Amino acid sequence: MDVVRSVIYFVLAGLCEIGGGYLVWITLRDGRSVWFAVAGALILVLYGVVPTLQPTALGGFGRIYAAYGGVFIVLSVLWGWVVDGVRPDLFEVVGSVIALVGVFVIIYLPALLR
Which pLDDT tens digit goes with each residue over 36-56?
999 999 999 999 999 999 988
Q: Name the residue with higher pLDDT: 1 or 87.
A: 87
Full-model pTM: 0.90
Report how many domains make up the chain.
1
| Selected residue with higher pLDDT from 3 and 83 | 83
The secondary element (H helix, E strand) that includes residue 50 is none
User: Would residue 59 be called left, alpha or beta, if left means φ above 0 and alpha means ψ between -120 and 50 degrees?
Assistant: left
Helices 2-30, 61-82: crossing angle, 10 deg rounding? 60
Q: What is the mean pLDDT of residues 54-83?
A: 94
CB distance 52 to 29 below 8 Å: no
Percentage of residues in the chain with pLDDT exceeding 90?
A: 86
The pLDDT-based confidence of 1 (bands split at 50, 70, 90) is low
Cβ-proximal residues to 61 (8 Å cutoff; 6+ apart), any chain: none
For residue 18, which of 75, 74, 71 has the smallest C-alpha distance? 75
Domain extent for 98: 2-113
